[in-house]
Amino acid sequence: MPPDPSSLPLPLPLVGPGLTGFATGFSLILAIGAQNVFVLRQGLARRHVFWVCLVCAVSDALLISAGVAGFGAVAQRVPWLETAMTWGGAAFLAVYGGMRLRAAWKGEDGIDAAAGGPDPGLRAALLACLAFTWLNPHVYLDTLALVGAVGAGFEGASRLAYGIGAATASFVFFFGLGYGARLLAPLLARPRAWRVFDLAVGLLMWALAAGLVLR
């Protein structure tokens, strides 16, 4: 005998909005960006992976909640906010990209050498993680504007289910990326592989920084 729909933990009418939120959030966060590359690198080095993933996911959840609640319309009334975030984010990406290019120039023989080097510590990792999240104008576009715009089509409990679905996508993605990164360890354990990875990351950070100020 099929279960009584009224006895299910989540009412069936809310499953659709929840799945819509999950699909919307996951599709937006899937694109390669500075935040994702940082999480990937932490996962490869196996440093503070849980806390980095948690900070990214919780930050996204807070921004998604604000977007679903309609904060995007409020943010549009502060014209200087986008400019400040753009230049602040570009400066941070340029500096971090320079650090990675410097590491590539010095050279590190694979993951073991990189992970065995000096660890800047949990505090430094979390500060960098927060900067990648909160100084990135694209994060606000994705969460406050795009996720919020789709969520505006729902009302009441359906909007709540949509927001929960979108926030859940962030947790699934970041923890999957952080802990799944170790699957690439055999590849990056090869000589000079980590050096090439740092070079690619550095160039990507500079490209993203240029994209912010030239758009």
Is the residue at 186 inside a domain?
yes
Indicate whether 5 pLDDT > 60.
no
Separation CA 53–CA 92 (nearest Å): 20
Number of domains in the chain: 1
Indicate whether 198 pLDDT > 50.
yes
Separation CA 213–CA 163 (nearest Å): 31
Is the residue at 9 inside a domain?
no
Is the residue at 2 inside a domain?
no
**Ramachandran angles phi, psi of 8, nearest 5°:** -75, 145
Is the residue at 118 inside a domain?
yes
Q: Are 174 and 37 in contact (CB under 8 A)?
A: no
Separation CA 176–CA 26 (nearest Å): 12
Is the residue at 140 inside a domain?
yes
Is the residue at 141 inside a domain?
yes
* pLDDT band with cut points at 50, 70 and 90 for residue 48: very high
Averaged pLDDT, 156-181: 90
Is the residue at 7 inside a domain?
no
Percent helix, strand and coil across the chain, each to the nearest 5: 80, 0, 20
Is the residue at 4 inside a domain?
no
pLDDT tens-digit map of 52-61: 999 999 999 9
Indicate whether 7 pLDDT > 70.
no
Question: Which range marks the domain in which residue 209 is found?
Answer: 14-214
Helix (H) or strand (E) holding 68: helix 49-68
Signed CA dihedral, 69, 64, 128, 105: sign only: negative
Structure tokens at 190: 């090869």
Q: Is 185 buried (19+), middle (13-18) or exposed (0-12) by CB count in 10 A?
A: middle
